[in-house]
Amino acid sequence: MGLLGLWGFVPFILCFLVLAYVPYQTHASSRSSISRKNLVLDPSLKGLCASVVIGHGYKCHELEVTTKDGYILSLQRIPEGRYESGGIGTKKQPVIIQHGVLVDGMTWFMNSPEQNLPMILADSGFDVWIVNSRGTRYSRRHISLDPSSEEFWNWCLDDLVSYDLTAVFDFVYNQTDQKIHYVGHSLGTLMALTSFSERQLVHQVKSAALLSPVAFLSHMKTALVVLAARSLLSETFTLLRVAEFNPTGVLVKGYVRSICAFPGVDCDDLLGAITGIPKLMN
């Protein structure tokens, strides 16, 4: 990822670090608790379909989409619900589901099938397509570049919109010959808003549901965010020749531990320290 692109992701990176590494067991939700124990993952299996979808009784197909700039994206399709026999009924409406920053399609499968959005949509009669953006665990390939090279990571948000999102929409549209419903979370909403504002893809979209939408970051004025913005974080990565930001790496883990150990920093409420205290928290 380029210098300017990484700079724009600083607030997202901070939020992700908190969610990924602050010690927790469960997070409360309106329906039940969300915990790691609900994730059924077999590390010996390759691909998202085999790991977390097929075992629950759903059909799932692994597909690939190549962008115009050469990145090979992994795409999963759940064509029908768990208890459907297939081949009968009306043509299903396609839904593209785009994950947020620094995660991948796996993020939609952290709960039981009754609480996983792709499976809920499939059981409700939709043709579900799950995106894995470039650089994520299932989309670390390029027609000529190696993920270990700096060139592989020389991209920014604009490329996710112009290349990744466009390639996926074109592929699904050509496969289904229908306008597409879109569901994006966090970064996925920013990608959609950027595309729609440029009048891209609008002829292929039937509806858009934006979860935790992000458009502008100027209202994030907490001390921790201001400090991060002034800390020359992206310049530091560039000087250290860190092309890939790996949130599971030793450096990042050590950085988060040092933050949590700092006097006066409450890691139990570090997310609030970054985003601000929510006024509408239930």
pLDDT, tens only, 31-58: 333 334 444 455 445 799 999 999 999 9
Asked whether residue 123 carries a pLDDT value surpassing 60, the answer given is yes
Q: Give yes or no for a contact between 180 and 98, defined as CB atoms under 8 angstroms apart.
A: no
Q: What is the CATH number of domain 39-216?
A: 3.40.50.1820
Burial 248-275 (b: 16+ CB within 10 A, else e): eeeebeeebeebbeeeeeebeebbebbb
Q: How far apart are CA 122 and CA 164, in angstroms?
A: 23
Please write the tens of the pLDDT for every residue from 1-32.
444 444 445 555 555 454 444 433 333 333 33
Q: Is 86 left (phi over 0), alpha (psi -120 to 50) or beta?
A: left
- Choose among 204, 188, 168: nearest CA to 71: 168
pLDDT higher at 111 or 252: 111
| Mean pLDDT, range 68-89, rounded to an integer | 87
The pTM of the whole model exceeds 0.85: no
Residue-range domain boundaries for the chain? 1-37+218-282, 39-216
Confidence of residue 84 (pLDDT cuts 50, 70, 90): confident
